[in-house]
Amino acid sequence: MPESTHPATEPRVRREVVSFVRRSTRMRPQQLRAWERLRHAYVIEVPRRASSTSVATGHRLDLAGAFGRTAPLIVEIGSGTGESLVAMAAARADANVLAFEVYLPGIARTVSRLHEEQIGNVRLVQADAVAGLTQLLGPSSITELWTFFPDPWPKARHHKRRLVDTAFADLVATGLKSGGSWRLATDWADYADQIRAVLDPHPAFESAAGAPDGWAERLADRPLTRFEQRGLDAGRTVRDLHYRRAC
């Protein structure tokens, strides 16, 4: 065989398919100062495996230590700038609310909002929620999970990047307590249909929509976020979904 003409290279590290875009972490100086001052009160640091959104294998969160108490756990995935998180956590003072978000300036904005509103029952982890659920939380530890306006990845060739698929549903099923709720919302009709196609037949979930057509009522105190408004402005219909972990 002829010798390869290609130069010797390091073996390539295969990049996983993730549900988010790696965006700039740049913040304005004022934002950065607030972030440095406030982050320690709200953000839980975790050991990493490789990237800044990964989590070291086998690292479990000490939730009682992080929140300073034991309480039912609500998890939000993709909290963005905290528009839903801050208002909804404020209305659930008896719960510990943990958010996974990858976008650092969004986390910084959330932390500022939490400080302004003097909300003490929220902690954030900068991590891919898939790694967060896999490593950081034990089985049957979550009472309620929120996934509001997950990145839609509208192009067909990007659908594989959508967060909610069967593998992710299996992960959520492991983390949710029996009878625990998974509430979702999206303004992308085909993503809403995809979620139905995954969760309606999933053996670990039953519909808690309460309506014969399978779509849930909007959660009364879920605020109208910038993402939702953008969808409405574009003429899209917002769908709420609600499932329960079957016993």
Sequence ranges of the binding site for substrate: 155, 187, 225-228
- x/- contact string, 196-235, with ligand SAM (CB under 6 A)? -----------------------------x-x--------
User: Total binding residues for ligand SAM by CB under 6 A?
Assistant: 23
Closest CA to 18 of 72, 73, 78, 75: 78
Query: With CB under 6 A as the contact rule, which of the stretches 36-44, 76-84, 136-144, 188-196 interacts with ligand SAM?
Result: 76-84
State which of residues 55, 74, 75, 80 lies at the interface with ligand SAM (CB under 6 A): 80
Tokens of 92: 């659930």
HSE (side-chain half, CA atoms, 13 Å) at 196? 15
Neighbour-count burial of 112, counting CB atoms closer than 10 A to its CB (0-12 exposed, 13-18 middle, 19+ buried): buried
Annotated binding residues, written as ranges, equal 76, 101, 128, 151, 155, 187, 225-228
Q: How far is the CB of 82 from ligand SAM (least distance, A)?
A: 8
**96-101 vs 73-77, strand pairing mode:** parallel
Contact 224, 181 (CB under 8 A): no
Q: What is the dihedral of CA 67, 177, 145, 23, to 10 degrees?
A: 70
Catalytic residue among 94, 151, 233, 240: 151
Instruction: State yes or no: is 151 an active-site residue.
Output: yes
- x/- contact string, 122-151, with ligand SAM (CB under 6 A)? ------xxx-----------------xxxx
Closest CA to 179 of 113, 83, 245: 245
Query: With CB under 6 A as the contact rule, which of the stretches 73-81, 90-98, 209-217, 235-243 interacts with ligand SAM?
Result: 73-81
**176-186 vs 239-245, strand pairing mode:** antiparallel
State which of residues 106, 175, 180, 231 lies at the interface with ligand SAM (CB under 6 A): 106
Query: With CB under 6 A as the contact rule, which of the stretches 59-67, 99-107, 170-178, 238-246 interacts with ligand SAM?
Result: 99-107
Say how far apart CA 136 and CA 130 lie, in whole Å: 10
Alpha-helical segments (H) within the chain:
29-42, 63-67, 83-90, 104-117, 129-131, 166-175, 189-199, 226-233
Residue 100 within binding range of ligand SAM, rule CB under 6 A: yes
Task: Please identify, using beta-carbon distances, which residue of 150 and 180 lies nearer to ligand SAM.
Answer: 150
Binding site for ligand SAM (CB under 6 A): 19-20, 77-80, 83-84, 100-103, 106, 128-130, 148-151, 163, 225, 227
